[in-house]
Amino acid sequence: MKKFLDRYLFSRLGLQMLFSVVAIALFAVLGTLIRNWVTDHTASDVYSQVFWGFRQITDGGSMAGTLDGLDEVATESKNVIAAPVVLVIALVSWLIGMVLYGFVAGAVANAFAGRKEKIDAGLVRYRFRDHGIVIGWDFQGASCVRELLKECRDVLVVSAIAAEEIRSDIEVALGGDQTSRVYIYNGQIAVDEDLLRDSWPELSKRIVILGDGNGDGDDGGNLYIERILRDHIKQASASLREKRPPVKVHLHIANPVLYTHALAVPKEGFAENDDLVDLEVFNYYESWAWRCWSAKGAGDGEAAYLPIRHRPNAERVELFIVGASPMGQAMAYYAMPLMNYGEDRKHCKITIFDESSGGAFLPENWALDAMPEVEVEHKCIDGGSDEANDIMIAAASDPKAAVTIVVATPGADAAVKAYAQLANSLRRMDVSVLVWQATASEKCPRKPFLQTCGDRAKLRFFGMTDILPWIDPARQDGGRAVNHYYDVAFDSGRGLPKASDTRFAESAMAVWDKERAEQLWMKAPRWSKWSSVNSGDSFKEKAAAFPDCLTNAESRMKLLRVEHNRWWTERLLSGWKPCEKPAEKARQKELKDAYMHWDMVPFDRLDEFTQELDRVCIAAMTACGFVEAKL
């Protein structure tokens, strides 16, 4: 019996409530029947006849009436029961009522506690509208929530990570006053289709797909989530009576190879945008690498730390990456196009120090072989070891070499410790040191604290978590300008004069059309947008290296080769391959659909039309400075 009660009554909230209600009703009816049977009702007291038992169980309120009305006890022999029996019945009913109502109060308290436990565990579902959704959770999750709260009434987090861990991160990042607007759906897996549908994605404003853990292995899950959401939004939107703007979806791809492939060749599982979903593929590490190399948002007034520009007279560029983390991989991947200046010898070298058994990320050999000057080498040693320090010191001691060291060891403190492991003599050389910090900006160590007396290394921190990479309008602004001027240069009917024309700068400014640039950008495929953004990312730095490119034909030619090789390298790293140019336009389209391009050759081998197209586009962007004030 005890086992039965423990299993079905005391452990189940619903049965507790049902038992309490049934027991109260039963004892109330039984008490009223007994009282009516043993008393003599000379007056019509309907209340006492019907509700006496319930009142007695509730508060013992009929006790006084029972004591005062002992003369009502029936005298007939068939109903003769002594007055003390009535008192005992009243007293027992009251005691039983106290127990039952205590049981009810406990059950109600358990119900509230159970509800709170479900909310805290992320098991309660709600209906939302005009909300933001974060799917998956990682070190950037709280920053994404904070940004979404600026434009959305509520934010929903869908993740397989424990809800209390997510809530703790949010409370630390936002404070208690903001957490009431954040809701959590917790499931065994974040890609549970029912869980995603319950988040009402068709009524949301913005969705950020992070993936739990953010490792390379989560990319497939993120792609699967995007497909589920897109299909559900299409199906649900068909039944919506209102016309809603497209849902902005930010899809994080951690692996740098898959990321560039996703942008360059969207047909491989990446749907193009439509009227319902506006998809943006992003990668934390690539965006932080862009900020780092281009000196955007550094806030310290120093020049860019591009390896190709650290020493203008350098004949050789050395880039050392300590730690083959996703950040280190992205730094190497993003640096390759910037280091490719089209020389006929390999004098730009990237060395990755990583002692893990998995090794470091390296591009395919056929892509490396096609790059005129970039060499990538992996050394299976600790980046802070004496052997690694000796290699970097030897490179930094060469007066003809420009040396940049990227410390990309995972962890908020690991990169700082790795910087401290660099040899004192190395830190006193003219090198650039970039330290990755997966933490908030205010928690980043101060340079004077980190650098000891006598250090000459130019130190920079990058990758702080409060800098959101998926909201970076400056990159798209530059991409719009590149896309616009390429279209103008290609369109001979409304195009620009030759780049050698003395009035070229005025002509370039005259054809700038912000509205047309926006229209072209919206219609451009994802790979074209990505290519334009990459061109704009480093263009100002490259143009600064050739300040007289508008007036000096030789400087303009160098800049053309630099930009063309960047484009060529970008294509190689994203999976495109060179081919011969066919005469038929239909055949050209087929080759592009197969990710092959005939312009993946040295600049001097391009046909005259393509060369002039590049000249005009480069000259227009240089003359207008991306018309930054007008963007």
How does pLDDT run across 330-357, given as a tens digit for each residue?
Answer: 888 778 877 766 666 667 888 988 877 5
DSSP lists the bridge partners of residue 322 as 353, 407
Query: Of all helices (H) and strands (E), which one includes residue 158?
Result: strand 155-159
Structure confidence at residue 227 (pLDDT): 85
Question: What's the longest Cα–Cα distance across the chain?
Answer: 130
pLDDT of residue 297 exceeding 50, the answer is no
pLDDT over 90 at 242, yes or no: no
User: Is residue 44 classed as helix, strand or coil in its secondary structure?
Assistant: coil
Q: Residue 320: is its pLDDT beyond 90? A: yes
**Residue 595 confidence (pLDDT) above 90:** no
Q: Which amino acid is at 617?
A: C
Question: What's the pLDDT at 9?
Answer: 54
Which range among 138-142, 163-167, 255-259, 381-385 shows the weakest confidence by mean pLDDT? 255-259
Looking at residue 192, its amino acid is D
Question: Quick check: 359 and 390 in contact, CB under 8 A?
Answer: no
What is the rounded distance in angstroms from the CA atom of residue 463 to the CA atom of residue 313?
Answer: 29
User: What H or E segment, with its residue span, contains residue 206?
Assistant: strand 206-209
Residue 166, pLDDT > 60, answer yes
- Looking only at the bridges linking them, the beta strands covering 577-578 and 277-282 are unpaired
Q: How far apart are CA 509 and CA 630, in angstroms?
A: 11
From the list 82, 35, 38, 97, the residue with the least C-alpha distance to 47 is 35
Q: Are 354 and 360 in contact (CB under 8 A)?
A: yes
Contacts of residue 509, defined as CB under 8 A and 6 or more positions apart, other chains included, come to: 623, 624, 627
Give the pLDDT confidence of 389-406 residue by residue, as tens digits: 999 999 999 888 888 899
Distances (CA, A) of 629 to 89, 92, 139, 514, 618: 91, 87, 35, 11, 19
Share of the chain above pLDDT 70, in %: 76
Cα–Cα distance measured from residue 246 to residue 207, given in angstroms and rounded to the nearest whole number: 11
What is d(CA 619, CA 608) in angstroms, rounded to the nearest whole number? Answer: 16
Give the bridge partners for 159, in sequence order: 186
H helices of 314-464, in order, are 326-339, 365-370, 386-396, 414-420, 424-427, 447-450
Calpha distance 304→598 (Å, rounded): 33
Q: Is the pLDDT of residue 607 over 80?
A: yes
Place of tokens 């004192």: 424
In the predicted structure, residue 67 carries a pLDDT above the cut 70: no
Backbone angles phi, psi at 436, to 5 degrees: -80, 130
Are the beta carbons of 197 and 232 closer than 8 angstroms?
yes
| Res. 463: pLDDT tops 90 | no
Q: Where is mean pLDDT largest: 75-89, 134-148, 235-249, 261-275? A: 134-148
Question: How far is residue 164's CA from residue 184's CA, in Å, rounded to a whole number?
Answer: 9
Binning pLDDT at 50, 70 and 90, where does residue 518 land? confident
Q: Tell me what pLDDT residue 631 has.
A: 40
Q: H or E stretch including 475?
A: helix 473-490
Please state at what angle helix 13-38 crosses helix 83-121, rounded to 10 degrees: 160
Q: What local confidence, expressed as pLDDT, does residue 4 receive?
A: 54
Cα separation of 359 and 232, whole Å? Answer: 40
Q: What type of residue sits at position 135?
A: I
Report, as an integer, the average pLDDT of 58-66: 55
Beta carbons within 10 angstroms of residue 104's beta carbon: 17
| Residue 411 binned pLDDT confidence (cut-offs 50, 70, 90) | confident
